[in-house]
Structure 1
Amino acid sequence: MTNILSLIENSRKTKKESVASTVRMPESLHTFIETLANDLELSKQEIMLKLLEQGAEVAQEALAEVEKAELAQLAVAEEVEPQITAGFHILNTNKAHSDEDPEWMLAKGIAAAFYDPWKWNINRIKANDVVFLYENGKGIVAYGRGTGEVKTCDRDGDKDECHYQELEEFKILEKPLSAAAIKKILDRNVVFLKTMSGMPDGQKVLELIEG
């Protein structure tokens, strides 16, 4: 209870742009939220938002653990069977955590990731690999080819916690390729919240973009 109250008070101090959304829920859950709002003398909007944010944090932490395990498995697999042909990757531009990161990547024509273990994704990009930059809420917004040369810089004062590669033949799409369009052309589900995922069938996406 105290945690929810403190979160709400902090959110009031920091105003963020918000969007309207509608959700249907079981009557029992609605009653609980309504009662909690009355008990705390807060609005249902404030209670629902904080419950959603806390749930999202739990999901992000779980996804991070999955990513860590997958990165370890990929490192072992690539040692056993090195990649020969050019690969395809889809990189999330981190808009969920920062509006500046996508803008920076697009302005500089780079693929970047931050902190351990996510920054090591960039080291997996080989020369001539195609990297699609995916922005949450929009889709693939740009793409280019890796150089295989990993560069580092500081992140929020933390030394070398950003790994990045400059992308050759970098192009920004006039119209982003939506998540729905990507899933349709690949005829499979794609998880876009991961920092970076391999896309073995990425040639289909490239052909769709380039026409």
Structure 2
Amino acid sequence: MSTTKTPIHLEYILGLTAFAAGAVDVISFVKLGGVFASAMTGNLAFLALYLARGSLHAAVGSFIALVGFILGGVIGTLQTRGRSNHHALNILLVTETILLTAVIILWLPTTHIVGGLATNLLILMLSIIMGLQSIVGKKVNLSNIPTVVFTSTLTNMVIAITDTLASGKFALPTDTKRQSASFCLYFVGALIAGLLTVLDWQVIIVLPLVAVAWALVRHLRAKPE
């Protein structure tokens, strides 16, 4: 068994991007017409529901999010082909930071009307960002944490915790602790974004940028493995 200690900056990247994903999902759902920018399983279900109801504008938004996420995954894959994980993460996090800054610039002066051009463009941009972030999770490659959707993470946590308790042990594996931390940080990001939507504070859109930019700074300061 390897005893190599995981670089702390990778732990930061996992936690901060999970936080960002939680915030983005609440922002896109509440402010952009009931779509998820990162949780594509839920988004696909909503797309089917909107089509069944004949809610065309909402269905278009969900479809745009699905296309954007796929496009983000394609872009992230092409950006990082043949590169070391350290260099790949630099590229991905820089791209995310630039795009999140562009989202803020578009967000502040526009009204967010379901089916509106600005709204659909924001959905596209946020889902592209989350698609890119899914590649970040692959490049970090710790504990099978995807950084954008946490259903599989929850399954892994339940399996590990159940196995641990059934064996009479009470010390959780490192992977489970890491998965639990990311799961909780996704929730915290969503909770803070939710509170800001209740207060109707425009600063809500800054949350994902702060988290991803912090992850980028931590990574830039780290030495390549």
Q: TM above 0.5, one fold?
A: no
Q: Which structure's residues are more often strand, by fraction?
A: 1
TM-score, with structure 1 as normaliser: 0.28
Larger C-alpha radius of gyration, 1 or 2?
Answer: 1
**Structure with the largest fraction of helix:** 2
- Which structure is richer in relative contact order (CA contacts within 8 A, separation 6 or more)? 2
Q: Calculate the TM-score normalised by the size of structure 2.
A: 0.27
